[in-house]
Structure 1
Amino acid sequence: MRVHSIDVFRAVTMVLMIFVNDFWTLEHIPQWLKHMPGQADGLGFSDTIFPAFLFIVGLSIPFAIDHRLDKESSVQVVIHIVTRSLALIVMGVFLVNLENIFPAAMTIPKQLWQVLLIVAFMLVWNNYEKTELSQGKVKILVGAGVLLLLLLAYLYKGGSAEDVHGMRRHWWGILGLIGWAYLISALIYLAARGKLIWVGLGFLIFMAYNYLDFTGILDFLEILHPDFWLTGHASHQALVMGGVLTSVLFRIYREKGTSMVFQILLMLGILLIIYGFMVRPSFGISKIRATPAWTSICMGISVLVFLFFYWLIDLKKMDGWT
């Protein structure tokens, strides 16, 4: 059974993400709407949007994977998960390099490189299932896209006049961060086969890692950063796993009645927010630093917003505006 409130929550979040991403180009925007500075202890409205999107990624994982398991083997599902993750990671790396491009050293204009990059993305990751193209033609188009990506990587020059270099992984980019978090969380859910105890354990491990990383206890793992998949102090993985846990709880308690769903998820959201404010004195609330307080408070807010949309869309059927 499809939960339409998840689709609405995702759509609203994507609209808000586009909206807040343009704030830096505007003047006289209230501070509470913008991202807080990196070392500040506070939460702006813009700081809640990206974690909400990560949470929604997790919300969707149980429904999507279980649907695929009805038709495909576990191996096929793993291949699907890895393929989707790789797409996000590759796109993230290319887009980050686009931000650091050095036009004067390029053999083609930056604008042309950028347009060709989007064309390559479309060729490689277009949804060809809904087209009438033969498998042979699809393979040709995807192959052309891969070759174009390789050519663009070869032509790329970044840096400055003093330090011209080729493509680098400066950081994973927003898409890359989503890709890594999705990869780990989806594989955990698949291995757990939806069992609450294992999903909950995975969630708690990432929450604990996020906290312990800030205490310095895990400094010995710094050799793995930033190339290891636990980017962002495991905050992003915790947010996605929080969405997975919420979905598992939702599906378990929905069978026991609407009131149970509201009680459990309301309690979860409130407890997460309380925990966030409990650890705030230690590390502050910061999106830039991905602190435990930011992770937990934003996750709690996302649980409560999902609960609101479930009440509005799925229960009250007030979806005419969607």
Structure 2
Amino acid sequence: MINKLSNGRILSIDAFRGITILVMIFVNSVAAVQGIPGWMQHAHANEDRMTFVDVVFPAFLFIVGMSIPFAVNSRLAEGDNFWQLQKHILWRTLGLLVLGVFMVNTGDLNPAATGISRALWAVLFYLCVILVWNVYRFRQSWLAWCFKGAGVAGLIVLALIYRGGESGTTYLAPQWWGILGLIGWAYLYSCIIYQFFHGHPTGILLMIVVCIGYYVVCQQPFIRDGQWSWLDGQAGNAAHTSVVLCGMLLTLFYFDENLGLKGSRLVARVTGFLAILLIAAAMMRPAYKISKIHATPSWCLYSAAICVAVFSILYYLIDVKHISRWTTFFRPAGSNPLLTYILPDIVYFGMMLCGVGLPAVLGEGLPGVIWCIFFAAAMLLLVKGLNKAGIRLQL
């Protein structure tokens, strides 16, 4: 074991994850609605601002960081040795990268060159994802491996037949890694850091500073425009990793029994951490304006600070005051996040494949916003049913 963490599932973390996924579904849907106010849209790359929409992705990163200590220590408690643990981490990273690349390339698919429609290709892709990463409960383990093998084979075939671009001559490749791929890189680096420093808060805090520093150095002309420009390729990943590490550090403050932070000591530590993030973000902002697209330090630090505040409120309500009945709605998504993440796309491409569209009125203004709220809630209810049906994805 690396840290002595609280036993059992932490309901406040599940609630935070479920709420984040619900908001994610809403903002992804409302992005296609015309005539909505600016505060419901992503800020443009060169604007010095952020909206609540721009906090959704870093909230995912933050929650990944909160979960890493529990996941690593759980596998060690189950008897994994060092190399088995690294195999699991690499497999999970590979899964996130593969999913990210497939999802990014879906929008650029050329139906004529590929031989099938974009909708059919996407539906088959998501079917293969479910086959590969579903948690099977068969008594015969070979049957589960048959399903997983079929899914892997399907992904290989879909990758081989894929052609993209207007000319239909491009192959499946990482144009960029996609949201899941970016999470995958940050997850990998954070797992390495967590193990290297043996879960020590000081080491993790130091690496938050190092990650931000790496981004800053890579923006200097002698790096960006010189022979070391290749280093800039990891600047965004370093920034994202800093957010993951902030989530990891908060988990240790709240749940590492060896630290023994309770009552006023816990409040002081968390409040101090929040203040450091806010002050650092304000200090970085003149040189590096707030921008999600450019993954600037000010955006990372402000986003992490917001996550610290939101989780602390949830922790107080759920784990301290035990006001938790309202979280029932979010729990299915929180316990099955990957399926919840891909489910809206499955529904969207399924409708496209069947030739079903929405009325034009649902693509504009207030009716469109109301529809997106309903759609997000419907996805969480659908996940609840799929959970009961035994469809639960796990990387």
Map residues 1-322 of structure 1 onto 2, 5 A cutoff. Answer: 1=7, 2-71=9-78, 72-128=80-136, 131-161=137-167, 164-216=169-221, 218-219=223-224, 220-224=227-231, 226=233, 230=234, 232=236, 234-252=238-256, 255-322=260-327
Change (3 A) 1:152 1:281: same
Q: What is the TM-score normalised by the length of structure 2?
A: 0.76
Amino acid at match of 2:84: Q
SS in 1 for 2:285: helix
Counterpart contact for 1:209–1:233, Cα < 8 Å? no
Aligned length: 316
Q: C-alpha offsets along residues 173-195 of structure 1, whole Å, 9 cap, x if unaligned? A: 00100111111111221232212
Change (3 A) 1:110 1:252: closer
Give the CA deviation at 1:218: 3.8
Change (3 A) 1:247 1:218: farther
Counterpart contact for 2:197–2:203, Cα < 8 Å? yes
CA distance in 2, matches of 1:61, 1:245: 10
CA-based RMSD of the aligned residues comes to 1.8
Give the CA deviation at 1:208: 1.4
Change (3 A) 1:274 1:201: closer
Of 298-307 and 256-265, more deviation after overlay is shown by: 256-265
Q: Which residue of 1 aligns with 2:360?
A: none
Amino acid at match of 1:107: G
Q: What is the TM-score normalised by the length of structure 1?
A: 0.93
Structure 1: state its 5+ residue gaps. Answer: none
Q: C-alpha offsets along residues 81-135 of structure 1, whole Å, 9 cap, x if unaligned? A: 111111111010011111111122121222221111011111111112xx12422
Q: What percentage of residue pairs aligned between the two structures are identical?
A: 38
Give the CA deviation at 1:215: 3.5
SS in 1 for 2:116: coil
User: Which fold has the larger relative contact order, with Cα–Cα distance below 8 Å and residues 6 or more apart in sequence?
Assistant: 2
Structure 2: state its 5+ residue gaps. Answer: 1-6, 328-395
Change (3 A) 1:221 1:51: farther
Give the CA deviation at 1:233: 5.2
Give the CA deviation at 1:273: 1.4
CA distance in 1, matches of 2:197, 2:128: 36
Change (3 A) 1:133 1:155: farther
Moved over 6 A (4+): none
Counterpart contact for 2:138–2:144, Cα < 8 Å? no
